[in-house]
């Protein structure tokens, strides 16, 4: 007799990281319910799984979720990736970020609480550390430089409030710079590796912000998905985990790997010169 499949909800499951979370969960024999309003996500990110009977896609805005949503019934794990990203747009439209990343998170938390899910894993952001030239640990100083960082940090605070007050088992993962297949390549503020490849394919110069000597901790998206599943399966509750490689690479180094002409553009607000993680905690 086969054991009953576990059920997972992935909000933002048609997005870059969320769709890789879906891949891993299906591979691990889960039933997966995706919630995505397709504002930032794309159905094409799930197309290769479209014939899998264990995947159910739901075009729903998290801000409109009801506490008694049937999508959360009998769910073991909730992986919450849904929200809006990018630094500069958050400065221009902070209300949208607070609505989606804070109030939207609360809507998901309430649905998870109502259905008594076993574990809630929140996709936080390393942007909460701000402009930090040193290696960042989970207890490093919080320095919220822009509304995006504020909204993601407040979402994390809400998650742990629901853990404390309502007993909802939860962990949070602060993601550094994820890259890999399906990374967003469009828009002025797409992830640098994806943008470089898009420019290379179109035979355009690589656009480098500032002098290119700023460095980032780039972590592959499949490693991020594995970390989220580990944070769900662990008996640990109420924990924060950095997810990065623990190493940093300069943008100039990345551009050299891709090759081609380069164009340097002015610095953007709110960007640290150097960013990399201490990932010992998630490794353990």
Q: How confident is the model at residue 4, as a pLDDT?
A: 84
CATH code at 201? Answer: 3.90.25.10
Between 28-32, 89-93, 187-191, 267-271, the lowest mean confidence (pLDDT) is in: 187-191
Residues 109 and 187 in one domain: no
119 and 187, same domain (yes or no):
no
Q: What is the pLDDT of residues 99-147, one digit of tens each?
A: 999 999 999 999 999 999 999 999 999 999 987 667 889 999 999 999 9
230 and 269 share one domain: no
Structure tokens at 166: 């309502």
Is 281 part of any domain? no
Range of the domain at 251: 180-216+247-274
15 within some domain: yes
pTM (predicted TM-score) = 0.91
Whether residue 192 is found in the same domain as residue 141: no
Structure tokens at 44: 């094409």
Judgement on whether residues 142 and 169 belong to the same structural domain of the protein: yes
CB 232 within 8 A of CB 262: no
The answer to whether position 1 is within a domain reads no
**Cα–Cα dist 284/203, whole Å:** 43
Task: Please tell me whether residues 84 and 113 are part of one structural domain.
Answer: yes
User: Mean pLDDT score of the chain, rounded to an integer?
Assistant: 92
Banded model confidence at residue 234, pLDDT cuts 50, 70, 90: very high
Q: Which of 148, 153, 241, 276 is catalytic?
A: 148
CATH of the domain at 72: 3.40.50.720
| Confidence band, pLDDT 50/70/90 cuts, at residue 1 | very low
Give the whole-angstrom CA distance, residue 129 versus residue 218: 16
Residue 12 lies in a domain: yes
Report d(CA 145, CA 135) in Å as an integer.
Answer: 18
pLDDT digits (tens, 9 = 90+) for 147-190: 999 999 999 999 999 999 999 999 999 999 899 999 887 654 45
Residue 2 lies in a domain: no
**Residues 24 and 128 both lie in one domain:** yes
For residues 228 and 92, state if they share a domain. yes
Structural domain count of the chain: 2
* Residue 283 counted as domain residue: no
Same domain, 143 and 201: no
Residues 138 and 267 occupy one common structural domain: no
Encode the chain in three state secondary structure. CCCCCCEEEEECCCCHHHHHHHHHHHHCCCEEEEECCCCCCCHHHHHHHCCCCCEEEECCCHHHCCCCCHHHCCCCEEEECCCCCCHHHHHHCHHHHHHHHHHHHHHHHHHHHHCCCCEEEEEEEHHHHCCCCCCECCCCCCCCCCHHHHHHHHHHHHHHHHHHHHCCCEEEEEECEEECCCCCCCCCCCCHHHHHHHHHHCCCCEEEECCCCCEECEEEHHHHHHHHHHHHHCCCCCCEEEECCCCCEEHHHHHHHHCCCEEEECCCCCCCCECCECCHHHHC
Using the predicted structure, report yes or no on whether residue 79 has a pLDDT greater than 90.
yes
| Same-domain check for residues 108 and 134 | yes
Tell me: do 61 and 86 sit in the same domain: yes
Residue range 216-230: average pLDDT?
Answer: 95
Q: What contacts 148, CB < 8 A, 6 or more positions away?
A: 84, 85, 86, 87, 89, 90, 97, 101, 125, 127
Q: pLDDT per residue over 13-61, tens digit each?
A: 999 999 999 999 999 999 999 999 999 999 999 999 999 999 999 999 9
- For residue 279, being part of any structural domain is answered with no
Contact 246, 106 (CB under 8 A): no
- Specify whether 122 is catalytic: no
185 lies in some domain: yes
């Amino acid at each position: 007799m086969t054991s009953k499949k576990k059920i997972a909800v992935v909000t933002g499951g048609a997005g870059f990281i969320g769709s890789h979370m879906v891949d891993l969960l299906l591979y691990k024999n889960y039933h997966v319910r995706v919630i995505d309003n397709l504002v930032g996500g794309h159905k094409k990110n799930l197309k290769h799984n479209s014939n899998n009977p264990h995947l159910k896609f739901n075009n729903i805005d998290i801000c409109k979720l009801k506490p008694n949503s049937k999508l959360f019934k009998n769910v073991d794990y909730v992986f919450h990736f849904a929200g809006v990203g990018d630094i500069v747009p958050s400065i221009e439209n902070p209300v949208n970020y607070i609505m989606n990343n804070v109030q939207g998170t609360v809507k998901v938390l309430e649905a998870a609480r109502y259905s008594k899910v076993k574990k809630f894993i929140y996709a936080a952001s390393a942007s909460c550390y701000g402009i930090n030239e040193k290696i960042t640990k989970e207890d490093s100083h919080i320095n919220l430089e822009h509304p995006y960082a504020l909204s993601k940090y407040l979402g994390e605070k809400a998650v742990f409030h629901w853990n404390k007050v309502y007993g909802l088992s939860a962990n949070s993962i602060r993601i550094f710079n994820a890259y890999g297949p399906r990374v967003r390549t469009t828009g002025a503020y797409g992830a640098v590796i994806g943008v470089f490849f898009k420019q290379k394919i179109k035979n355009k110069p690589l656009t480098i912000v500032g002098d290119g000597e700023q460095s980032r901790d780039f972590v592959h998206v499949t490693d991020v998905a594995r970390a989220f599943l580990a944070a769900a399966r662990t008996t640990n509750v109420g924990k924060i985990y950095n997810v990065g490689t623990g190493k940093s690479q300069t943008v100039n180094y990345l551009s050299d790997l891709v090759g081609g002409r380069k164009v340097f553009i002015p610095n953007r607000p709110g960007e640290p010169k150097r960013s990399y993680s201490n990932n010992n905690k998630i490794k353990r």
